[in-house]
Each structure stands twice: as structure tokens, then as C-alpha cells.
Amino acid sequence: MTYFMSLLLFGLVLGLVAVASNPSPYFAALGLVVVAGLGCGVLVGYGASFLSLVLFLIYLGGMLVVFAYSAALAAEPYPEGLGSRPVAALMVIYLLGVGLVSSPFWGGWYEVSWLSVEELGEFCVLRGDVGGVAMMYSFGGGMLVVCAWALLLTLFVVLELTRGLGRGTLRAV
């Protein structure tokens, strides 16, 4: 299980570096799908299978619509892929930055954190994500409104950034 979680976390970091260094929205959206899948795999490894499923479905259902729409608005005839020189140089710089920032934490502090939520309690009656779902429904109404507002604001920001000079579908005929 430790090797599997290490593989998922390593893939998550590589995917995030690929998304951050890629200027093309096509490959960035594909990278975000991969990163979302790996992040949900990490959550499943820690015992939050329901939360992982909900996050993955909400992410694919909501945010990828925004990325698909922005990719359609910013259509490039020759998008830069991960193999081009500028993108590869940015990936190397970001990976070196991640390595430098994470180097103080290589001392072995993480060995206890590989356990899932159920393995920490001796007489665990409920799974950890079930209690989290109950807390989310009882105390999460305000946070739901804040998250919906943030997603709406993100939609408008992405559409404004990708609009360009053509004004999209709102131009005068």
C-alpha cells in the first residue's frame, strides 16, 4: 500500500507540474483530469471513498465544462505539447522548485501518515467519510454557498481571459 500511495502522490505532483507548465488549454484540461483522478485515488487510499467519488463527479461535471468552453474559445491551430522546449524547460524548473521546497521534509516524518482513518481507532463504528458527509450536510450550507459563488466567479474570470478581441458570441451583428 505504501508503494501504491507513493506512486499516486508522485503522479499527482508530475501532473500538477504538467498543468502548471503547459500554455495550451487542450493539454492542460487533459492534465487536470489526470490530476483529479490521481488525487481521488489518494483520497481512496486514506479511506475517504465517498468523498473521492463526489469530488471526482463534481469536478468532471462542472469544471471541465468551463475548460472545454474556454478551450473552444481559445482555439489554437498548433498548440504546444509537453514535448516542446519551452514547456519542458518550465517542467524542469518547477520540478526543481518542488524538490527544493520538499527537501526539508525527507527526514521520515511521514511514516505514521500512511494509515487510513479506520486503522487509527481501535473500535471504529463508522467509516471516516460517512462522518464527514454528516458534518457536511449539517454544517456545510454556508460553505456550499461560498463554493458556488467561487465557481461562478471562476467561470466569469476564465471566460473573460479567453475572450480575446472577438468578443465571443456577444458581439454586435
One DSSP character per residue, 121-157 reads: -TT--S-HHHHHHHHHHHH-HHHHHHHHHHHHHHHHH
pLDDT per residue rounded down to tens, the chain (173 residues): 778 888 898 899 988 888 888 777 777 777 888 888 898 898 888 777 777 888 888 877 777 776 777 677 666 677 777 778 888 898 899 999 998 998 887 776 555 566 655 565 665 655 666 666 677 777 777 877 888 898 888 878 877 766 655 555 555 54
Q: Look at residue 168 in the predicted model and tell me its pLDDT.
A: 52
| Whole-number Å distance between alpha carbons of 76 and 66 | 17
| Whole-number Å distance between alpha carbons of 137 and 101 | 37
| Whole-number Å distance between alpha carbons of 19 and 39 | 14
In total, how many domains does the chain have?
1
Q: Look at residue 97 in the predicted model and tell me its pLDDT.
A: 92
CATH number at residue 131: 1.20.120
Residue 33: domain span? 2-170
Closest CA to 55 of 68, 39, 69, 66: 39
Q: Look at residue 173 in the predicted model and tell me its pLDDT.
A: 47
Please tell me what DSSP assigns to residue 170.
Answer: G
Q: Look at residue 93 in the predicted model and tell me its pLDDT.
A: 93
Q: Look at residue 109 in the predicted model and tell me its pLDDT.
A: 58
